[in-house]
Structure 1
Amino acid sequence: MITERQGERLTDWLDAVRQDDLPSLHTLAVGIDRDLGAVIAGLTLPWNSGVIEGHLNRTKTLKRQKFGCAGFQLLRRRVLLTP
């Protein structure tokens, strides 16, 4: 379902999980139900936010390295000049 982008099968999988006697999977199913549309879209659509997440992670790392040691101008320069 994940590797073949078959998100439409998710509801069948959730029904099977609810019928099993595995409480931890029941909790997972409830969490997925809260945002079912987004989860199905994530399993179906070809787009992802990997590039953006990488930039955010890099920016947060730079911020943590300089936290308390320098002002915003140095942080800005590091973010803009880092490859």
Structure 2
Amino acid sequence: MLTTLSGAHLPEWIAEATDADLPGISSFAAGLHGDFAAVTAGLTTDWNSGPVEGAVNRIKMLKRQMFGRAGFALLRKRVLLS
């Protein structure tokens, strides 16, 4: 479902997962009902947060490289210049 964006098959998968008698999978499938509309939208649309996650990861890496060396002003310059 994740790679083919076929969120329409989610109700069938949830039914199979709850009937599987596997405690972890059954509780996960039951928890999907809590926000079913958001889960279905996430499995059917091609929107993702990949570019944002990449930018956050890059900023965190810069921050970790500078740990204990300088203040916020230098971190800001490194983020803006990179």
Measured against the shorter chain, the TM-score band is 0.7 to 0.9
* Superposition deviation, residue 30 in structure 1: 2.8
Hey, what does 1:69 align to over in structure 2? 69
Q: Indicate the RMSD between aligned Cα atoms, in angstroms.
A: 1.3
Cα distance in 2 for partners of 1:60, 1:33 equals 34
State whether structure 2 residue 7 is matched by structure 1 residue 2: no
| CA distance 1:28–1:78, shift in 2 (3 Å) | same
**TM-score (ref. length: structure 2):** 0.88
* Superposition deviation, residue 37 in structure 1: 1.9
Q: Percent identity?
A: 51
Hey, what does 1:16 align to over in structure 2? 16
Hey, what does 1:49 align to over in structure 2? 49
* Superposition deviation, residue 27 in structure 1: 2.0
In structure 2, the residue corresponding to 1:69 is in which secondary structure? coil
Could you tell me which runs of 5 or more consecutive residues in structure 2 were left unpaired when the two chains were aligned: none
Runs of 4+ deviating beyond 3 Å? none
Q: Deviation string for 1:39-60 (max 9, x for gaps)?
A: 2111100110000000001111
**TM-score (ref. length: structure 1):** 0.87
Could you tell me which runs of 5 or more consecutive residues in structure 1 were left unpaired when the two chains were aligned: none
Cα distance in 2 for partners of 1:25, 1:36 equals 16
Paired positions, count: 82
Cα distance in 2 for partners of 1:75, 1:24 equals 42
